[in-house]
Structure 1
Amino acid sequence: MASFDLYHHVTDQIIRSIESGTPAWRKPWTGDKGGAPFPRRGTGEHYRGINVLMLWLTAEEKGYRSPFWFTYRQAQDAGGQVRKGEKSATVVKYGTVDRKDEATGNDKRVPYLKAYRFFNADQIEGLPEEFYGTPAEAPRDLGTVADPSLDAFFAATGAVIRTSDKPEAYFSPAEDFIHMPPVATFHSAESYYATLAHEAAHWTGHKTRLDRFSRFNDRKAYAFEELIAEIGNCMTCASLGLSPDFDQSAAYLQSWLRALADDKRLIFKAASEAQKAADWLMKTAPAELMNERAAA
């Protein structure tokens, strides 16, 4: 029997999330198609690190609304029962064990990674009412208005940008267009254009432009592309006189790196590709528009 490859499992979850639309942990607009708030154990304790990412991905994929997760036994202890046929999600524990070094005879601390299986409260019958989630949120008109000069910048790139009430932001490589929710449903105009810059960075990778997708097409390529798009978003926003949300971007990038086994070299590779993406977007910007943005 083949051994369980945890890193492969996590990366595959991320790939499925990206393929299906906007990842669950990056959504600055109202309205959603599922997902859950910050994941918590049945005790109320919040998860940390890679487990947050993994449970968010599962909640987004399955449409779970509850933030609470239980082992099979914990569900029973809380008075519930996992429904027949429900599939568990993977949670990991990092730790160390002391072992004797055969070469030196000295004690050494060896790291380990262990997987556990958990179920969302939405998969469990009979739990107290407070463990269950709320209905999906409908998009709300927050009154956020577009910036004509920024709209002109993105129009000048030549990217086809489609808008509908669907609460998802994504780039479709197959059909070569960017989809955005209405600007009015975003919490701020800056978050709208930062999201659009992220998707526009993806847009530059198409075979008719930088042809990035054909150059990076191994198992980790989707996650690597997200690093590129997020760094490209920061570079583009800075060039447009917008203030990138560096705290959110740093957390976003860190999530990808952890999922890719903390390969720090990817940041340098992604930054190089992101610079090419930002340069591609900026080269079409009308000079008078950029002068106007600089003076604002």
Structure 2
Amino acid sequence: MKRDIHAEITNTIIEAIENGTAPWCKEWDGAMGFPFPRRVTGENYQGINVLLLWIAAEAKGYTAPTWMTFNQAKKMGGQVRKGEKGTGIVFFSTFEKESEENDNVTRIPFLKRYTVFNVQQIDGLPAEFQPSQPASVAGGEQAIEDLEAFFAYTGAKIENGPEIAPHWNPMNDTIGMPPVEQFSSAHAYYGTLAHELIHWTGHTPRLDRDMKYNTKEGRAFEELIAEIGSCFLCGHIGAQPNIDNSAAYVESWLKALRNDKRFIFRAATQAQRASDYALQKGRPLLTVIAAE
């Protein structure tokens, strides 16, 4: 029987949520605890693979950011320890198929699953791959100034006021936020702002995302994009995601996941695009970037 990789991964996500922790919800500050997963080449993983590696890191206590295949470890002089189990992630690509009736060529997408190991499962690797404890960039006056510059440089219009609840208003394309002093910490303020910024990326002048606020299902899907996207974004800029509001949508997410095995893939892809867009806009003035 052919493997249904979409269903396998969806079931992994469902199990994580039902166990009480959505895989994108991490208690971190961007530099400590759950580093953004990256390949042996130094490139960051993308989309659904980030969620799969975060699940594995949390379950097994890995703090090192780098993952590699068995053969990659072997080429570098390392050896996966006996008994260690790898983590399955996916590779997206296409293949060309020629029509039997004419000369047309169709590009058909496919999904392939392969296994990687965290460097903490491997002996004999160079010292540069050993986990370290970088200083947090989300706390302290200078780091907050860096984050303030990042959000300002995105070009998003942000209005602060004591009577304003956190939101993005599509009518005037404005993010509303209470003053930072009204939050329990600066971490909470910037995590909430990151969530609203992900909503902002979907507007017509930018990514033109199909934001179906007129249905319960549409709102839940957009909130999932904002949840995952803000975690991706915070992982890069050294902020702490604010995950307090996700519980309101959990049942809707679980229902959608059970009914549609490609739901989480679409959400993760859109979240990655939103995070990438925000980083592209705000990165020039960010002097300290965590997890890179």
Q: Give TM-score, length-normalised by structure 2.
A: 0.48
Structure number, greater radius of gyration = 1
Q: Give TM-score, length-normalised by structure 1.
A: 0.48
